[in-house]
Amino acid sequence: MLTETQLRTATGDELRTLRSRIFEELRRRDLEGVPGEETPSPPSRKSGREVIDQKGGNGRWLKLERVKCGKPRCKKCADGVGHGPYYYLYLTNPKTGRYTSKYVGKPANITEEMRQEFGIEVEDLEV
């Protein structure tokens, strides 16, 4: 890990490169899912996540979740509100039976295909 001195002395460009690398890594982890979620359906929530809504079945779920970022000084998390809510698509890998989750995000990112698959009306997405 980087020390505070290394962060302080880094240039803005270096920090921006670092930030995008961190985002890429977080995205990769989000796409590949979290190990240990092999329980039968429906998928168990990840730690620090509150499931507000859940649709689907047969190996595919669309879940609306509030997320705790885990930063010690985050006011939203300290208040118990957390971040979001954000949508996540949960899929079962047919070969391994493992769940993977995919970040969807805001209601606007839900595609027409997803709305049809999960039986969601456009009006339901005005979160």
Kindly identify the residues of this chain, within the stretch 66-85, that bind Zn ion according to CB under 5 A: 69, 74, 76-77
Kindly identify the residues of this chain, within the stretch 1-60, that bind Zn ion according to CB under 5 A: none
CB of 66 to Zn ion, least distance (A): 10
Q: Would you say 93 and 33 are in contact if contact means Cβ atoms under 8 Å apart?
A: no
- Residue with the CB atom nearest Zn ion in the bound state: 74
Alpha carbons within 13 A on the beta-carbon side of 97: 5
CB of 70 to Zn ion, least distance (A): 7
CA 115 to chain centre: 19
Residue 50 burial (10 A CB sphere; 0-12, 13-18, 19+):
middle
Q: What is the DSSP string of 1-14?
A: ---HHHHHHS-HHH
114 binds Zn ion (CB under 5 A): no
# binding residues, Zn ion (CB under 5 A): 4
Cβ proximity to Zn ion: between 13 and 79 the closer is 79
Binding site for Zn ion (CB under 5 A): 69, 74, 76-77
